[in-house]
Structure 1
Amino acid sequence: MMKICSCQFEVEAGQPAKNLEKILSFIKEAKKNNADIIIFPEMAVPGYFIGDTWDSSSFLRDCEYCGQKIIAAADGIAIIFGNVAVDWHKRNRDGRQRKYNALFVAQNKQLLSAENSVYPFAIKTLHPNYREFDDSRYFYSTAMLATELKKDVRELIKPFTLFIKGKPLVIGCILCEDGWNDDYPISPIDILCADKKTDIIFNISASPYTLGKNHKRHRVFSRHAQMNNVPLVYVNKVGIQNNGKTIYTFDGSSTVYAADGSIADYAMPYQETARYIEFPLKKEVAQNLASDIEKDDIACIYKALTYGIGKFLQKIHMKKVVIGISGGIDSAVAAALYSRIISPENILLVNMPSVYNSSTTKDLARELAENLGCAYAVVPIQESVDYTIRQFTETKIHHASSDIPEQLKITSFTAENIQARDRSARVLAGLAAAIGAGFTCNANKAETSVGYSTLYGDQSGFLAALADLWKYQIYGLALYLNKEIYKKDVIPQAVIDIVPSAELSADQNVDEGRGDPIKYPYHDYLFRSFVERWDKATPEDILLWYENGSLEEKLGCRPGLVKEYFTDPTDFINDLEHWWNLFSGMAVAKRIQAPPILAVSRRAYGFDQREAQNTPYYTRRYREVRQHFIGK
């Protein structure tokens, strides 16, 4: 019987010295607990998402130094860890320094090599280059190395042999994506287990959280263990990392799969922990724990958001926050979330009414602040908005033309934008500066999708924590916060019931049931199909589904909504083209300038959803079907 220690810990991106300190502390503790093997996550030394810092030779040398310190600690214990490996004598295909995303196995203060290995480490074989990943930009893969050496890639994927208590233990070592091989031509796990001599598989990972991802991993990894009749130990990191425009949480959820595919051990998400596993696994230990994992989507979203926001605030050393609250659902959920992360006395909630804000929403904003116990201020904006409009209309423009007249006329649409900018760029930004805080962006994903926001206005802020949540998820989160977190209605029920509205004009009077132009029960799902489907939907797909009567089923929205919202095909097509033009037009420019977004979905805006500023495009087939419906 041997003892294996699985270390799920917070890896700080771009901070190898800090990570080394933690790793050595875990090793010291594992030795005290008589562990035979200790395993750390992928890129445990440098972190994973560090951008073009990978091109700094001095940084790489620091990572190598830290690796040597870990190897030197492999005395009386075998250590498996992830780090960058550098071949200083070779270059990548782009001329940059040759680097590998590598797994190191150290024992008796020395690195071990697999059979016939080119290097004393295992190399990541399958490089993800989708969503937030960009591995091939920086690293050389096993497949690329095999081509260079004119070898079959299978020759380079070999197990390591450890000697534990004088007995050999054959271990298969893979990195993250190597276990997600369904759409790749090879399976590293199957190659390692082909001769039936491998005793156990270790997968070290740097796998960001995505809603529902753990369920899929359990299916995939359980199948691997069962098909190869070998236990599989998955070790993931916790913490947050980012690639500039998108912030990702790493939930850990490290898991041990028994040879029959059942879950033998599971580390709770977002917790630093060292789990000790006895190997071979005892039958009574190998019990299915999957029923306790990710029972509720909204609960998982709540955990990801609170963890991600809290860690982000720590990273940027921000202790105080200003939140604009309107009496609507988005700002109410933002306020309730932040109040669980930092103390209410460090939160300033601000209501900024104009003549268009009803007493209903103003009262609800005050009630929310009282329920949360946060500081609260009312800063009316009508006087400053009127002054701005008057200043513009009274300003004479010199060298005027037919396109730019001598006297400006401010339209109602422009006046709406002036209000939005006054609230954020003047009031919230000014108050935040006055108290040494940052102010939040409360936009949801539907608004972000079609640019239903104002540049330098309500799209401003240091973090868009809700911008990867659809409106229906915002409502679900509000109910969850009341019922499960606060155990009372801190978000007033009237906030949940009231029609969503920006209250920027008389046409958005909530007391008269007027609100946003976005019909969220339908448009949430329409916009989601533009973004989150692996095969992204276009107007052609939407119109064909509309034609054959399968639209609601394909989108996943409530049956009957299309007939409820649209009187005829012309009405439906006009709506579709309006939002598609915004989604693929001006909204792209707005998203590029938006604050960083905290990712929870399978496709978050920012680096995950990579966009170019192209004009809207309609396919040939769409134009044909459109003509069939409306004749033009």
Structure 2
Amino acid sequence: MLKIALGQMEVLPGRPDINTDKMLSMIQHARNERADLIIFPEMAIPGYLLGDTWEQPSFLRDCEAFGQQIIAASRDICVIFGNVAVDWDRHGDDGRVRKHNACFVAQAGRLIGTCIKTLQPNYREFDDTRHFFSLRKLALERNQNIDSLLTPVTVTIRNDKYRLGCIICEDGWNDDYNIDPIAILRTQGPLDLIINISSSPFTLGKNNKRNRVFSKQAQETGVPLIYLNTTGIQNNGKTVYTFDGFSTVYNRLGEIIAYCPPFTETLDYLDLPVKAAGQDLAPTSVPDDSTIDSIYLTLSYGIKKFLQSIGMNKVVIGLSGGIDSAVSAALFASILHPENILLVNMPSKFNSQTTRDLAAQLAQNLGCLYTVMPIEQSVEYTASQIAGTPITNLANGRQCNLLVSSFVLENIQARDRSSRLLAGIAAAFGGGFTCNANKSELTVGYSTLYGDQAGFLAALADLWKYQVYQLANYLNDKVYGREVIPQAIIDLMPSAELSYDQSVDQGKGDPIIYAYHDYLFRAFMEHWNRATPEDILNWYSQGTAVLEQKLGCQDGLINKLFSSPREFIEDLERWWRLYTGMAVAKRIQAPPVLAVSRRVYGFDHREAQNRVYFTQEYLRIKDRLLSTM
């Protein structure tokens, strides 16, 4: 029987001093509880998403020094932890000092094993190969088999020897690699325990998949498996990731016998009958992480931690009376004290009394600070100044005036609200103002640069519109237990209300048909093999039922929306041109996005400003469909 301490800790990226102090405290607590073994996450000392901080030798020296403190603290207890391993005598492919992402095993005040990460993810938000030298690459350099470098670590506890197979995060997600670290460890003789230390960001539904993958690994090896993950938030500049922990223990049958609560820093203990491979312990069920509950939990947790990390405790939210700003307000109000939230309604002549009243009602329901600041006068002044001030051609002395079109006037309104009012109000209030954009808007740039796409954090920008509505109902039903977001806001036609053509009282609203376009845009952006117009039109040509099945939208919807292939194609091309065109420029300058989904805008969705492109096959399918009309 081993008494194992699971150190599911919040790792502060770039603060090895704070992380080490926390680890030392947990080690002492585990020692007092007579634990035999304590496990910490991947990169527990430095943090994981650090950008090019990894290029600072002085930072690396600090990480090494703090690692030595952890090793020294391993008297009377075995400590397994993640840190950077530096080979000062060699360099990586970038010419800098060589660094490894490593798992250290310490006991009796000394280092008894160092395991280097074998597989390095280089997709989504991960950029490991930029900084670290993998075990796979090390074996190639030395002209050795990985088998000779990837070996179990043997520890002795109360005169019994235990062979530990220590791997790091991606080493357990090996289906698409030609190397299987766990299979290699099995060839080294019998294992008593597999330990996977991780720094794995939350993704909606990811733990459900992990449980399937890791359960299978425990079954196939016949060895208990411990997955130890970190909590907290880390970022790579444009994208903020939450880390949910959810550390889990599997017995030899692949059954889950223990787990740490998600989004909670904790030091949990488990008495594991290693010789019986954990199968004597009763299995337990774990919560589903693919529901709206998990979306709320990660958003609430991420916002709270992000505010703490930047030292902000006051927030200004532009409150239009629409669904996005309403959800944003209710979300922040569930985190901050109402007196630290200032809700601002900024009507123009285009805003209906309906949305003005709904904004006031929501503010009343939340109990936040509230003000109304009309923008009509300043918008008119800006428009008249632009149109009324002559522009001189200094080469010939000729003058002309600019035309303020209705489209330009819409943008002036949006920028007046954000760049002028909200920015100024936030500075005076001593806080920041939010960006309330959703993922559908961000996809096609249905927002104004320096206007409603401005703010310190885009907390809803990884939610499709249908998820925003789900969250609104969840906030009412589960978080507040009453109707804080008026049902009229949920039922209202979504509209920017920037012109009379967007009058909500007349049922006019956004050009995006969310019931369909949410799913079309998701195919462009979130599908692992991302769809292009060629894929969409190919599925459409096979029948609208095929397309609806591929996209996941409502059956029969496409024929209701588009009466002919020409209409369908015009709609498809309109949004594709925006998604790959002007929207890219807007996204590059957008605020940081709080990640929820399997692909999020920012560093997870790397893009360049290129010209719009349609493949040759798409053009052939298009010609064929249109020629039959």
Give the TM-score normalised by structure 2.
Answer: 0.97
For 2:124 and 2:516, the matched residues in 1 are separated by 26
**Aligned residue type for 1:7:** G
CA distance in 2, matches of 1:401, 1:525: 53
| CA-to-aligned-CA distance 1:137-161 (integer Å, 9 cap, x gap) | 0000011000111001121110000
Of residues 299, 304, 323 in structure 2, which corresponds to 1:310? 304
- Equivalents in 2 of 1:604, 1:288: separation in Å? 34
Alpha-carbon distance in 2 for matches of 1:196, 1:286: 25
SS of the residue corresponding to residue 154 of structure 1 reads helix
Structure 2 residue 206 is the aligned partner of structure 1 residue 210: no
Q: Which residue, 222, 234, 237 being the options, matches 2:227?
A: 234
User: Secondary structure in 2 aligned to 1:217?
Assistant: helix
Q: Does residue 1:513 correspond to 2:507, yes or no?
A: yes
Residue pairs, 1:496-575, within 5 angstroms: 496-549=490-543, 550-575=546-571
Within a 5 Å distance, the mapping from 1:616-631 to structure 2 comes to 616-631=612-627
Q: Is the 8 A contact 2:207 2:289 kept in 1?
A: no
Question: 1:200–1:397: structure 2 CA closer, same or farther, 3 Å change rule?
Answer: same
Q: Distance in 2 between matches of 1:108 and 1:457?
A: 59
CA distance in 2, matches of 1:295, 1:303: 10
- 1: distance between equivalents of 2:519 and 2:272? 47
CA contact (8 A) 1:3 1:276 kept: yes
1:606 maps to a residue whose letter is G
Question: Which residue number corresponds to residue 456 of structure 2?
Answer: 462
Are 1:265 and 1:286, in contact at CA under 8 Å, matched by a contact in 2? no
> What is the CA distance between 1:368 and its match in structure 2?
0.2
CA distance in 2, matches of 1:59, 1:519: 50
Pairs within 5 Å for 1:400-479: 406-479=400-473
1:288 is aligned to: 283
Q: Any idea what the Cα deviations from partners look like across 1:198-230, whole Å, max 9, x if unmatched?
A: 100000000000000000000000000001000
Match of 1:614 in 2: 610
2:337 to 343, 367, 379: 343
Q: Pick closer, same or farther for the CA change 1:94–1:80 going to 2, 3 Å.
A: same
Shift of 1:279: 2.1
Amino acid at match of 1:340: S
Q: Indicate which of 468, 488, 494 corresponds to 1:494.
A: 488
- Contact 2:166 / 2:195 at 8 angstroms: preserved in 1? yes
Alignment deviations for residues 279-298 of structure 1 (CA, whole Å, 9 cap, x no partner)? 216768633333x3126610
Q: Does 1:599 align with 2:595?
A: yes
Q: Which residue of 2 aligns with 1:172?
A: 165
TM-score, length of structure 1 as denominator length: 0.97
Alpha-carbon shift at residue 259 of structure 1 (Å): 0.5
Cα contact 1:4–1:38 (8 A) shared by 2: yes
Distance in 1, matches of 2:510 and 2:490, equals: 15
Give the deviation of 1:565 after TM superposition.
1.1
Establish whether residue 19 from structure 1 lines up as the match of residue 12 from structure 2. Answer: no
Query: Residue in 1 aligned with 2:96?
Result: 96
Aligned counterpart for 1:587 among listed residues 583, 589, 596? 583
1:341 aligns to what SS in structure 2?
coil
- For residues 546-565 of structure 1, give each alpha carbon's deviation from its aligned partner in whole angstroms, at most 9, with x where no partner exists: 11011111000001111111
2:321 matches 1:327: yes
Q: Which amino acid aligns with 2:249?
A: V
Tell whether the 8 Å contact from 2:206 to 2:289 is kept in structure 1 after alignment. no
2:248 aligns with one of 251, 255, 271: 255
Q: Indicate the residue corresponding to 1:72 in structure 2.
A: 72
Find the counterpart in structure 2 of residue 85 from structure 1.
Answer: 85
Amino acid of the residue matched to residue 35 of structure 1?
A: A
Native 8 Å contact 2:205 2:289 kept in 1: no
1:427-465 deviation digits (Å, cap 9, x = unpaired): 111110111110000000000000000000000000000
- 2:458–2:594 CA contact under 8 A, matched in 1: yes
Query: Contact 2:74–2:107 (CA<8 Å) still a contact in 1?
Result: yes
Q: Distance in 1 between matches of 2:587 and 2:454?
A: 11
Write the deviation string for residues 474-517 of structure 1: whole angstroms up to 9, x where unpaired: 00000000001100010000000000000001110101110000
Contact 1:263 1:286 in 2 (8 A): no
Q: Structure 1: how far apart are the matches of 2:108 and 2:566? A: 75
The one-letter code of the counterpart of 1:325 is L
RMSD: 1.4
1:200 aligns with 2:193: yes
Equivalent of residue 378 in structure 1, options 372, 386, 394: 372
Give the equivalent residue in structure 1 for 2:6.
Answer: 6
1:163 is matched with 156
**How many equivalent residue pairs?**
623
CA shift digits 1:544-591 (9 cap, x unpaired): 111101111100000111111111111111110000000000100100
Who is 1:29 aligned against? 29
What CA distance in whole angstroms lies between the structure 1 residues aligned with 2:2 and 2:416?
65
Measure the CA separation in 1 of the matches of 2:501 and 2:420: 25
1:309-342 C-alpha deviation (Å, 9 max, x unpaired): 0000001100100000111000000000000111
Give the AA of the match of 1:236: N
User: Is the 8 Å Cα contact of residues 326 and 362 (structure 1) preserved in structure 2?
Assistant: yes
Give me the whole-angstrom Cα distance separating, in 2, the residues matched to 1:612 and 1:41.
Answer: 34
